[in-house]
Structures are given as structure tokens and as C-alpha cells.
């Protein structure tokens, strides 16, 4: 019982920490590594390097006699089996398994059969990676895979280390339970991550059109305003856009068609902005009111040309409805963040004033701080 309890305890808490640390490494590792090394490193290679260090550390613990072979093998087997079903990078897994094989030099005192058996168990992990999508399709696929793989790994360990059969059966059973719990924990982490991602997306995007929301606009514009005042970013322009006569579209065709118009406009506008050489982001800030932040140092003339170009493109754009195609036009006001703009509302008020000047001048036009088109 002492053997089983010790193996279960150390393997369980090791796997929980191992899985959690891999999640952290996947999420923030590349950014952290870039800050330190001033070079982008793919998360896959950070994970491979991390697991290799874990395997080497476990190996050293055994070589220095600070842990039992049962515990060391359980930790190693757990880490390798888990990562082989999660790592979506064949070359990365090959590097990991190659390093693991080399770390076991001199291979049970140059026992060729043990070395070949160890190579065979590592080769099995390549098959697990190849079939990882099938393994995660259904719970019983995962359970069957974990049971079969665990039995094969611990059978090899029994033969190589001379373990007793009854002890091996007991440890293997404990190991299977731990691995099932570990994968359940992994599923929980993934579920919570997905829920968090969906929550963040919902708070940052408009539910109807999918464009970025007013809340996201407020956050992004505040950041750009702050950095612009400090001189840490090149020129930033704010564009406020209205779809002309949108109330008339709603009154004539109904609100469902009006929703279709908004959705079509956002899709078309974002497609156009993707072709612009400056970073441009579209936000829905009201019913038919939208805002665009043009960053990257565009001049006033370039910002005006971007929006005027889109206004011209709309001449070829029609929103298809069951009864007829609807053509839309837009009015826009553009202004630049300046050093005198102590608050966000000063910039927004100026862009809004330019927008309403465009609407008073007959709509379907663009007004900047210095010119009208």
C-alpha cells in the first residue's frame, strides 16, 4: 500500500502542475521569451524544451538516488503519454523523444533488449500523436488509449527494472486512474479557457454585426490617446461614420432588413480596411454610427483618402434583399489626436462636429479639420 500511495500522490500532483504549467507556457511563453531573447520563439518549441528539461530533471533525481524508480518512471511516463496526445507538431515530438532516449544512456548497462524496448515504447507515442484527433473524439477512445498505453509502458518497466508482477499491476492501475484524472483536469482548463475567450469576445464585439463594440472602442481609443500624448505612437486619426438615411431604410423595409444592411456594411467595410497599409479598426458605437481608428502615422490627407476611397467603393456595393437591392452611402468626420486634447471627449467631439457638418452639407461626403470631399 505504501508503494501505491506514494506513486499515486506524487504522480497526481506532478501531472496537475505539469498540465497547468504547459497551459501557462502556451499562453504567455512566446511573449515572455521575445522580451528576454529579443526574438520570436514558437510556443511549440518552448513546450518541447520545457518537457525535455522536466524529463532530464526526473532522470537526474533517479541517478542521484533521491527518488524511487517507481516514482521516476511514473512521472516520466505520465509526462510523455500526455504530451504525445496534445502536441500538434510531429517534428517537435520527434525531438522530444530523441532527447528522452539519449538521456537514458548507458541504457540499463548496455542491455540491448532494454534499449530496443525503450525505443519501441517511445515509438508508440508517435502513433498516439498521429491518432490524437481520433483519441479525443470520444471519451472511450481516450480511456482505451490510456489503458493500453499504460499497460505497455509498465510492462516494459517491469521487465527492464525487474519489478514484481503484483506490484506492477497495482502501480499500473493507480497510474491509469491518475492519467484519467489528469485528462479530466486538462478538459476543465480548456473549457474554462474557452468560456473566458467567449466572454471576452462578447464584451469586445457587437452582437449583431460582429464588429468591435463601444466598450472596446473606449478602451482602444483611450490607449491610443494616452500613447499619442506621450509621443510613443505616430499620428492617430479618429473617423466617425453614419450610414445615410438609415431610419428611412428601417421605416421602408423593416428592422430585419435594417439589420441585414448593418451586417453587410460591417463585412464590406472591414474587408476594405484590410487592404489599407495603415492599421484601421472599425467599431460600432451606436445604432447606425460607426467609428474607425486609423493608426500608424497616416497624414490627414491619407486618412481622408482612405475614407473617400471607401465612399467611392460603396457606389458599387448593394445589399441584397428579397424584394430589391439597397445601395447605401455614408457621411464621415475625421480628426487627428493632438497634444492639446487633454481628454478623449475633445477628440470625439471634434470628429462628431465634422460628421454633422458632412450631413448638413448634403451627406455622402467626408469632412476633416481642414477640408471637405
Tell me, yes or no, if 167 is annotated catalytic. Answer: no
Return the DSSP state at 296: S
Chain center to CA of 166? 46
State the DSSP H helix or E strand holding residue 242, giving kind and residue range, or none if neither: strand 237-243
Length of the chain: 373
DSSP string, 253-266: H-HHHHHHHHHHHH
Of 23, 198, 288, 300, which is the active-site residue?
Answer: 288
Whole-number Cα distances in Å, 40 to 36, 37, 44, 335: 10, 8, 12, 36
**Cα angle at 313 between 310 and 314, to 5 degrees?**
95
In degrees and rounded to multiples of 5, residue 144 shows phi and psi of -60, -45
Residues 369 and 350 sit within 8 Å (Cβ to Cβ):
yes
The two beta strands, 318-320 and 325-327, are antiparallel
Whole-number Cα distances in Å, 46 to 21, 28, 33, 40, 344: 12, 11, 9, 11, 41
CA-nearest of 47, 10, 59 to 178 is 10
CA distance linking residue 123 with residue 41, whole number of Å: 27
| Beta carbons within 10 angstroms of residue 137's beta carbon | 11
CA-nearest of 28, 25, 79 to 47 is 25
CA distance linking residue 23 with residue 5, whole number of Å: 27
Query: Active-site positions?
Result: 288
Amino acid at each position: 500500500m505504501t508503494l501505491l500511495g506514494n506513486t499515486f500522490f506524487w504522480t497526481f500532483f506532478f501531472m496537475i502542475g505539469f498540465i497547468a504549467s504547459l497551459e501557462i507556457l502556451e499562453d504567455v511563453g512566446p511573449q515572455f521569451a521575445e522580451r528576454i531573447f529579443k526574438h520570436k520563439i514558437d510556443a511549440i518549441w518552448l513546450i518541447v524544451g520545457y518537457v525535455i528539461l522536466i524529463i532530464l530533471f526526473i532522470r537526474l533525481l533517479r541517478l542521484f538516488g533521491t527518488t524511487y524508480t517507481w516514482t521516476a518512471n511514473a512521472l516520466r511516463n505520465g509526462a510523455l503519454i500526455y504530451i504525445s496526445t496534445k502536441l500538434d507538431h510531429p517534428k517537435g515530438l520527434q525531438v522530444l523523444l530523441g532527447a528522452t532516449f539519449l538521456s537514458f544512456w548507458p541504457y540499463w548497462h548496455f542491455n540491448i533488449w532494454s534499449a530496443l524496448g525503450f525505443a519501441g515504447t517511445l515509438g508508440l507515442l508517435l502513433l498516439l500523436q498521429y491518432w490524437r484527433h481520433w483519441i479525443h473524439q470520444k471519451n472511450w477512445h481516450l480511456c482505451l488509449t490510456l489503458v493500453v498505453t499504460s499497460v505497455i509502458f509498465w510492462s516494459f518497466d517491469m521487465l527492464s527494472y525487474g519489478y514484481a508482477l503484483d506490484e506492477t499491476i497495482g502501480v499500473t492501475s493507480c497510474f491509469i486512474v491518475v492519467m484519467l484524472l489528469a485528462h479530466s483536469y486538462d478538459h476543465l482548463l480548456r473549457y474554462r479557457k474557452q468560456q473566458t475567450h467567449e466572454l471576452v469576445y462578447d464584451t469586445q464585439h457587437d452582437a449583431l454585426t460582429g464588429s468591435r463594440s463601444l466598450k472596446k472602442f473606449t478602451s482602444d481609443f483611450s490607449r491610443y490617446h494616452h500613447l499619442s500624448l506621450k509621443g510613443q505612437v505616430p499620428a492617430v486619426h479618429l473617423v466617425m461614420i453614419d450610414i445615410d438615411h438609415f431610419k428611412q431604410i428601417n421605416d421602408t423595409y423593416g428592422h430585419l432588413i435594417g439589420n441585414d444592411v448593418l451586417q453587410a456594411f460591417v463585412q464590406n467595410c472591414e474587408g476594405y480596411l484590410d487592404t489599407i497599409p495603415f492599421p484601421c479598426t472599425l467599431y460600432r458605437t451606436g445604432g447606425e454610427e460607426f467609428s474607425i481608428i486609423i493608426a500608424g502615422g497616416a497624414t490627414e490627407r491619407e486618412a481622408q483618402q482612405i475614407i473617400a476611397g471607401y465612399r467611392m467603393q460603396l457606389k458599387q456595393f448593394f445589399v441584397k434583399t428579397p424584394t430589391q437591392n439597397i445601395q447605401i452611402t455614408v457621411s464621415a468626420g475625421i480628426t487627428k489626436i493632438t497634444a492639446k486634447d487633454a481628454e478623449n471627449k475633445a477628440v470625439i467631439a471634434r470628429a462628431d462636429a465634422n460628421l454633422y457638418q458632412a450631413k448638413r452639407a448634403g451627406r455622402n461626403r467626408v469632412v476633416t479639420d481642414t477640408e471637405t470631399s
